[in-house]
Amino acid sequence: MSITDRQRTNLPKAADESMGAEPADTMMALLPPVGWADVATKHDLSEVERRMHLRFGQLSSEIKGEIGQVRSEMGRLRAELKGEIATQGTKFEASLRQVSTRLLFGMLTSNAAIAALFFTATRAGA
């Protein structure tokens, strides 16, 4: 049975006339502000709770999957970075050896030239 707005509006007035103002106000306070079809039952709430539990479980699984993918990608990037660092380190070591060798030979050459000049100068003066 559907209640019309007119019937709903007339109810407080009829209750007031038959019971008095205070009992009518109490009765109206106990009635839902909408039709009974719009009132949630414990079963409705349990169903919402069940569906929310399922949805949160799905979200949890999705998040765990995403986290797993991120960890996998981070592991791949870490390995790639380690390889790049090793490659650059090897190149740096080779460059350092080359520069050190050139510096050593340059110093030996200059020392030999200075020694030759010294010996030449001391022999010429003797």
Nearest to 7 by CA among 26, 23, 31, 30: 31
Nearest to 47 by CA among 55, 57, 36: 55
For residues 15, 21, 26, 28, the Cα torsion angle rounded to the nearest 10 degrees is 40
What pLDDT is attached to residue 126? Answer: 63
What pLDDT is attached to residue 32? Answer: 72
Residue 30 — φ and ψ, nearest 5°? -80, -15
Transcribe 13-45 into DSSP letters. HHHHHHH-HHHHHHHHHHS-SS-GGGSPPHHHH
Whole-structure pTM value: 0.47
**What are the pLDDT tens digits along the chain (126 aa)?**
577 778 877 888 888 899 999 988 888 888 877 666 677 889 999 999 999 999 999 999 999 999 999 999 999 999 999 999 999 999 999 999 999 999 999 999 999 999 999 999 888 766
What pLDDT is attached to residue 93? Answer: 95
Nearest to 83 by CA among 91, 67, 71: 91
What pLDDT is attached to residue 49? Answer: 97
